[in-house]
Amino acid sequence: MIKVVFFAALREQLNCNELSLSGENLTTVADLKNHLASKDETWQQVFANNTLLSAVNHDMVNSEQTIKSGDEVAFFPPVTGG
């Protein structure tokens, strides 16, 4: 299983904090994005945004990053702390 978590504006747009996927046929973060974008129009719009950031197991990564079962993948907008 792959745990996927969402934050801030993304979490609200998707109305989803987190979900779990079997992860079969998902090799990279890009695969996962495409898979999630195919859910419906809202998800498609959210994942079409190229400013979206991703992290795997708490490290910032790009879309080519490989993923495997047991990973925690996060998607969120650019950060605005401080």
Partner 1 sequence: MNQEISIQSADFSLADEVALLEHDNAVDGAVVTFTGRVRNQNEGRDVTSLTLEHYPGMTEKSLETIICTARKRWRIGRVKVIHRVGELFIGDQIVFVGVTSKHRQDAFAANEFIMDYLKVQAPFWKKESTEQGNNWLDAKTSDENKAAKW
Selected range binding partner 1 among 24-32, 33-41, 51-59, 61-69, rule: CB under 8 A: 51-59
**Total of chain residues touching partner 1, rule CB under 8 A:** 18
Give the C-alpha separation, 14 to 77, whole Å.
13
Shorter beta-carbon distance to partner 1: residue 9 or 48: 9
The token duo for 36 is: 């999630």
Contact by Cβ (8 Å): 40, 1: no
Give the C-alpha separation, 12 to 17, whole Å.
8
Shorter beta-carbon distance to partner 1: residue 13 or 34: 13
Amino acid, single-letter form, for residue 24: E
Site for partner 1 contains 55 (CB under 8 A): yes
Residues that bind partner 1 (CB under 8 A): 5, 7-9, 12, 51, 55, 58-60, 74, 76-82
